[in-house]
Chains A and B, each alone.
Chain A
């Protein structure tokens, strides 16, 4: 449970850095975030398009790790019950 929670919190932190950081970046560096990239402002590009692949990556990593953690736990429980 503790290791699962650590994993969840780690993934959530990675995501929250972007979610909390983007308004701060907009607040303190408006000129930078208004830079145009192919018509988009940088800030629009991040929030309107790039956020979604980023979330998919976090979800993918979380799912792989959490399944591995469960398997390890089952293995340990089996070894313990054999003794």
Chain B
């Protein structure tokens, strides 16, 4: 009996179940179950890739636009942006803006021609454009590189969310749990990129981010009022403007009840104005003054913009969905709707960051999974102070949205990486004569292997910000896929050798830089003193796009000129297929000619 009365739950292995908010748990659990169930249900109705594409061609514009948007919004969009706006302020706004605007570049330069060419994936396009299977291998390598960089932030999102729902659970526990569930699910054949599931996911995420924002704003004051509360006069402003500012901020501050900032939080003026903590970090660490560090900030900002805009335009998994439209006109209308859907979404996450700075400044003191990256999850819970359980319910809704975000993105990435490994590496390179059963078995092994590596990598990156890591994946895509697509669509002089050198040169340079930065930020390699004496190098390594994208394009031009005799012989026809209107039906002729030429 004595043992029972002194019962201590902390002694049990299930101790992490203490202090769990039942509402938050219920919403998250339902989301996980529904996502897995929908994945399996729709996986049954479409078995093969061609099924998916052909069936998809009947999808209506509205559904398709929602599906593309649903696939696009990852843990970085849902949790990372809010966390970064809270920790770094104005400079972090470039992320949502460039995520949305990169899509415009995709529309302007790449989407139309690629759709006409009829290549479903970048390896397909690379092989078709240059008639070279070697190129497919290089493209596959980059599917894996970018994929792993993209899975790390999703894993961090998973670890953070589970550490929030189960306060006693260590960060790595959440990563292993979520990673294992999704890996198993993909290996068993669920979770294919089905339009209905993805479209549902978009509306779930939109609902989960917008409704809590409106409720929070109606209780605690609006977006502008919360920003206004951060308004001490900025250095360099004219006296008249400064007085007006103070008056405005006082009237606004009267509406917002602000909690005192903790020591680690950036000061108001640095947070709310451009060239703040994010972009001046390297120069500040080197001991430069505010004036001296401004040019460094400008360089950082431009490099970041370049990485995000070009990286979005080179993201392979987004391109696939352009083929699920019945015709080119519908594809373009879909793109218009996607821009509107993701644009509206991206207005909301920064609001969480701004309100969070005023109401939950405690998070600045936390690090890793307990830091600002969980602001979207924790902020709505404040409403519990006003009585009732509405805070818990809304917090449960944002947790559900976070689950939808990292589960869909992680499983999508896992499917495409596993597909690349099983079909391209095993099926085409290692064992071209393998049977479909062998390939199916290989798919399962590959899924488990890649899932395990992702979990391992994910459990190491607790101290890195979600959004920052996604930015790195974009920087690699910007220096490899984007130059490849852009140059081979618009320049007929491009040769296989040129494309390969440029993509490898730019892509590997970006990959190397980001890896070094991660190793030193995670303190696996100690480089702090080196960075402190070389702030410019630190910026060029942290945001490499400003030199790797021109490097890739330059290499492509130089090497292509040097090997100009190797330009594909039917380049005129290829260019016509890429650029002539679909209604002329040139593609059909091209395919027939091509088959007649190579068939025997």
Q: Point out residues on A near B: beta carbons under 8 Å.
A: 1, 4-5, 8, 11-12, 15, 19-20, 23, 26-27, 30-31, 33-36, 38-41, 43-44, 47-49, 51-53, 55-56, 58-60, 62-63, 66-67, 70-71, 73-74, 77
Contact = CB atoms under 8 A, between A and B. Distances in A.
Contacts of B93: 44, 47-48
28 contacts: A19-B101, A19-B305, A30-B236, A31-B238, A33-B273, A38-B224, A39-B225, A39-B226, A39-B227, A39-B228, A41-B90, A43-B90, A43-B274, A44-B93, A44-B227, A48-B350, A51-B97, A51-B101, A52-B343, A52-B347, A53-B343, A56-B336, A62-B107, A63-B333, A63-B336, A70-B581, A70-B583, A77-B584
Contacts of B97: 47-48, 51-52
A66 B224 contact: no
A70 B302 CA distance: 35
A49 B107 contact: no
Contacts of B580: 1, 73
B184 interface: no
Given A36-B228, A43-B274, A56 B581 contact: no
B346 interface: yes
Given A34-B234, A48-B350, A52-B346, 10 more contacts: A4-B579, A11-B108, A12-B105, A39-B228, A39-B248, A44-B90, A55-B104, A56-B339, A56-B343, A59-B336
Contacts of B83: none
Which applies to chain A's interface (DSSP): helix, strand, loop or mixed? helix
Nearest to B304: A23
Nearest to B226: A39
A73 B245 contact: no
A8 B274 contact: no
A5 B248 CA distance: 47
B245 A36 contact: yes
A5 B344 CA distance: 29
A56 B337 CA distance: 9
A70 B584 CA distance: 10
B24 to A, nearest CB: 28
Interface in B218-257: 222-229, 231, 234, 236-238, 241, 244-245, 248-249, 252
A36 B249 contact: yes
B64 interface: no
B252 A39 contact: yes
B339 A59 contact: yes
A49 B96 CA distance: 11
Nearest to B110: A8
A22 to B, nearest CB: 8
B335 interface: yes
B350 A5 contact: no
Contacts of B343: 52-53, 55-56
Contacts of A30: 234, 236-237, 273-274
B387 to A, nearest CB: 28
Contacts of A56: 336, 339-340, 343
Contact of A43 (B223, B252, B273, B328): B273
A36 B244 contact: yes
Contacts of B546: none
B322 to A, nearest CB: 14
Contact of A62 (B108, B274, B340): B108
Contacts of A52: 97, 100, 343-344, 346-347
Interface string B164-198: 00000000000000000000000000000000000
A79 B226 CA distance: 62
B272 A41 contact: yes
A8 B100 contact: no
A51 B467 CA distance: 20
Nearest to A29: B236
B294 interface: yes
Contact of A39 (B223, B336, B579): B223
Contact of B237 (A23, A34, A74): A34
B112 A66 contact: yes
A25 B232 CA distance: 21
A33 B238 CA distance: 12
Given A47-B90, A55-B339, A41 B302 contact: no
Contacts of A11: 104, 108
Contacts of B238: 31
B581 A74 contact: yes
A36 B243 CA distance: 11
Contacts of A70: 328, 581, 583
Contacts of A55: 100-101, 104, 339, 343
Contacts of A39: 222-229, 231, 248, 252
A43 to B, nearest CB: 6
